[in-house]
């Protein structure tokens, strides 16, 4: 017999143990958040504006200032509204566009003037806005750890999943720029998690949370329609596997009917949330933006780069290859081991597992079918579900100690690989693509060069004592922002006219810097423009995205560069991109 005093002591010891475990879990997640944020700060300090950031930031300011959503209709407003908040609070950059440009909706010129029109605006406006976007990444790091802990009933599983997210270079890089992919990733994960929780206990608070989260997902990016399709597939699988939203359960028909009321309520909540993001009265703009996205393929030839070729035809293998070379090998190894262990151990899975497995599968299939081969960022919402699976390898069970040791080693390998590639995680490739030349042949666009490498050029010029060089820039940020004296060569994205000029006389060394996207020829009129350089060994590769060649004394190269410089005519407005 256990007397009352002994029972109280047991309960106290157990409570202290649980409190200690909870405190340890909180500290681990806090540590992962700190690690993620530190990587993000290093990224912000070293990387310049990417192609679209000026437009995105100006659009966010315009929404608050005018209540009009005419700028950047290709993306919903939620991230842009949040990115603009630091600038609005600071009040140092009021949105006052040229009246004619505003009437015509010339978003590229408006964005260019807004961010680059005055000295110091890039530093003053862009970095605080990017920090807002980093918060989306922080949310992913925390949420994936919380869900993995709940999914596998294991603190170790939660820690592993959170660590894989915290040290994932793509999540760090995409969270560090004004792109809606990080927000879509967070709210897709949140929608699936809330629905998973609701299916497990039918608590109405989780139903409300699901509806709001889904509205935020739809307000982040139009590809969120694939999230909706994935969640519907997950619910269908849940019901077919015997699950029900009615405690009474019943026949398949009864279980299907049990989905109707929650489905209607979630839909209403999602639409109300989405309407609020458009200030209610502008809600129809969401439908117009979605329509524009759906017909983009018919408005011009897209350009994709994959395995050394520029093509207008997407590849069904694009995202498979992108995930294989852009995710750290430690992550891929853990995912494979977790999947194999689940099969070998014959682990029994609940019917709620369809809400974990089917949403990312449907999203990946939809992204592949859409043919938007613009980077692994397009399928970033799929990746957290891989971390959830990988975390399961550290869950309790047979050989748990050995599995947890292997998981720890894999996480350590991921962290080392990520830290080695700082502060340029956007151009990260794993060890399957170890050299810049290999990476240049594999993938382009936001996988490698999104225009972020511009700030790396001036410090290199100082170190090499180079006063001027040939430059083929990619992106809308003018080289003058970073004080780069250069002879312009054909590139893509320039919004400031630059008259042809010769290289200053008396240069002891002659260098040419070409952004990776231009070296691949993705958006150039002639994709082979810089083929004469690709066969050479670069003198340096800056920020993982800018190739620098020493052409001193090379008569053929110098003649080609002079001819290219003479014909250089930067565009006034960038051609439409896919």
Question: Is residue 408 located within the same domain as residue 273?
Answer: yes
Is residue 4, in this structure, part of any structural domain at all? Answer: no
Is residue 14, in this structure, part of any structural domain at all? Answer: no
Q: pTM for this structure?
A: 0.93
Instruction: Report strand pairing: 309-311 vs 486-488.
Output: unpaired
Question: Is residue 173 located within the same domain as residue 232?
Answer: yes
Question: Is residue 471 located within the same domain as residue 412?
Answer: no
Question: Is residue 166 located within the same domain as residue 70?
Answer: yes
Is residue 350, in this structure, part of any structural domain at all? Answer: yes
Question: Is residue 55 located within the same domain as residue 110?
Answer: yes
Count CA atoms closer than 13 A to 167's CA, side-chain side: 24
* The pLDDT value given to residue 520: 95
Is residue 10, in this structure, part of any structural domain at all? Answer: no
* pLDDT tens profile 329-343: 999 999 999 999 988
Is residue 514, in this structure, part of any structural domain at all? Answer: yes
Last residue of a domain, one of 420, 438, 472: 420
* pLDDT tens profile 119-159: 888 999 999 999 999 999 999 999 999 999 999 999 999 99
* The pLDDT value given to residue 17: 54
Question: Is residue 157 located within the same domain as residue 297?
Answer: yes
Question: Is residue 366 located within the same domain as residue 494?
Answer: no
Is residue 530, in this structure, part of any structural domain at all? Answer: yes
* The pLDDT value given to residue 191: 98
Which stretch of DSSP H or E encloses residue 542? strand 540-542
* The pLDDT value given to residue 297: 54
* pLDDT tens profile 401-440: 999 999 999 999 999 999 999 999 999 999 999 999 999 9
Which SS3 state, helix, strand or coil, does residue 14 take? helix
**b/e burial code for range 542-577 (CB count within 10 A of at least 16 → b):** bbbbbbbbbbeeeeebbebbeebbeebebeeebeeb
Question: Is residue 73 located within the same domain as residue 136?
Answer: yes
Question: Is residue 27 located within the same domain as residue 176?
Answer: yes
How many domains would you assign to the chain?
2
Is residue 572, in this structure, part of any structural domain at all? Answer: no
Is residue 473, in this structure, part of any structural domain at all? Answer: yes
Question: Is residue 279 located within the same domain as residue 393?
Answer: yes
Number of neighbours of residue 13 by Cβ within 10 angstroms: 10
Number of neighbours of residue 365 by Cβ within 10 angstroms: 15
Mean pLDDT, rounded, for 382-403 = 93
Which stretch of DSSP H or E encloses residue 273? helix 260-277
CA dihedral 250, 254, 257, 259 (to 10 degrees): 30
Instruction: Look up the domain containing 538 and give its range.
Output: 453-567
Residues 68/105, Cβ–Cβ less than 8 Å: no
At 91, list the tokens: 């009040």
Query: Comparing 133-137, 508-512, 574-578, which segment has the lowest mean pLDDT?
Result: 574-578
* The pLDDT value given to residue 14: 46
Last residue of a domain, one of 420, 441, 471: 420
Question: Is residue 180 located within the same domain as residue 311?
Answer: yes
DSSP string covering 464-524 = TT-S-EEEE-BSSS-GGGGT--EEE-S-B---S-----PPPTT-SS-EEEEEHHHHHTSSS
Count CA atoms closer than 13 A to 237's CA, side-chain side: 20
* The pLDDT value given to residue 10: 46
Question: Is residue 253 located within the same domain as residue 106?
Answer: yes
């Amino acid at each position: 017999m256990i007397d009352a005093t002994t029972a109280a002591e047991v309960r106290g010891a157990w409570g202290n143990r649980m409190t200690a475990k909870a405190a340890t879990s909180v500290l681990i997640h806090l540590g992962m958040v700190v690690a993620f944020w530190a990587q993000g700060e290093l990224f912000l300090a070293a990387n310049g504006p990417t192609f679209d950031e000026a437009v995105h930031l100006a659009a966010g300011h315009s929404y608050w200032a005018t209540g009009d959503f005419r700028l950047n209709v290709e993306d919903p407003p939620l991230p842009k509204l949040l990115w603009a908040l630091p600038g609005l609070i600071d009040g140092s950059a009021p949105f006052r566009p040229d009246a004619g440009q505003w009437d015509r909706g010339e978003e590229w010129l408006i964005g260019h003037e807004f961010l680059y029109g005055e000295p110091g605006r890039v530093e003053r406006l862009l970095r605080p806005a990017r920090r807002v976007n980093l918060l989306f990444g922080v949310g992913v790091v925390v949420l994936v750890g919380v869900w993995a802990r709940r999914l596998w009933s294991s603190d170790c599983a939660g820690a592993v999943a959170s660590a894989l997210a915290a040290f994932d270079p793509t999540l760090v890089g995409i969270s560090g720029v004004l792109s809606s992919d990080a927000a879509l990733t967070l709210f897709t994960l949140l929608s699936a998690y809330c629905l998973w929780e609701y299916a497990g206990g039918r608590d109405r608070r989780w139903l409300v949370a699901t509806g709001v989260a889904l509205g935020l997902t739809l307000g982040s990016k139009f590809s969120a329609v694939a999230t909706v399709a994935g969640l519907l597939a997950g619910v269908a699988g849940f019901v077919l596997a015997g699950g029900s939203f009615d405690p009474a359960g019943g026949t398949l028909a009864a279980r299907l009917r049990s989905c109707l009321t929650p489905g209607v309520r979630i839909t209403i909540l999602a639409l109300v949330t989405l309407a609020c993001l458009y200030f209610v009265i502008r809600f129809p703009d969401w439908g117009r933006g979605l329509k524009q996205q759906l017909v983009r393929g018919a408005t011009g030839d897209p350009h994709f780069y994959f395995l050394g070729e520029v093509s207008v035809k997407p590849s069904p293998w694009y995202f498979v290859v992108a995930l294989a070379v852009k995710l750290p090998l430690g992550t891929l190894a853990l995912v494979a081991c977790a999947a194999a262990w689940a099969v070998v151990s014959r682990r029994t899975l609940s019917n709620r597992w369809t809400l974990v497995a089917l949403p990312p599968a449907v999203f990946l299939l939809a992204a592949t079918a859409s043919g938007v081969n613009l980077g692994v960022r397009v399928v970033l919402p799929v990746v957290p579900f891989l971390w959830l699976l990988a975390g399961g390898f550290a869950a309790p069970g047979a050989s748990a100690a050995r599995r947890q040791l292997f998981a720890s080693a894999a996480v350590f390998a991921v962290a080392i690989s990520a830290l080695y590639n700082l502060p340029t995680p956007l151009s990260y490739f794993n060890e399957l693509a170890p050299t810049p030349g290999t990476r240049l042949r594999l993938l382009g666009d936001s996988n490698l060069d999104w225009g972020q490498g511009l700030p790396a050029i001036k410090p290199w010029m100082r170190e090499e004592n180079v006063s001027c060089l040939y430059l083929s820039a990619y992106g809308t940020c003018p080289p003058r922002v970073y004080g780069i004296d250069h002879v312009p060569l054909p590139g893509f994205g320039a919004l400031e006219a630059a008259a042809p000029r010769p290289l200053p006389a008396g240069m002891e060394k002659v260098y040419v810097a070409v952004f990776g996207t231009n070296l691949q020829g993705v958006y150039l009129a002639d994709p082979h423009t810089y083929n004469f350089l690709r066969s050479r060994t670069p003198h340096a590769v800056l920020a993982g995205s800018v190739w620098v060649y020493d052409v001193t004394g090379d008569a053929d190269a110098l003649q080609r560069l002079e001819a290219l410089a003479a014909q250089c005519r930067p565009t006034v407005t960038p051609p439409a991109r896919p």
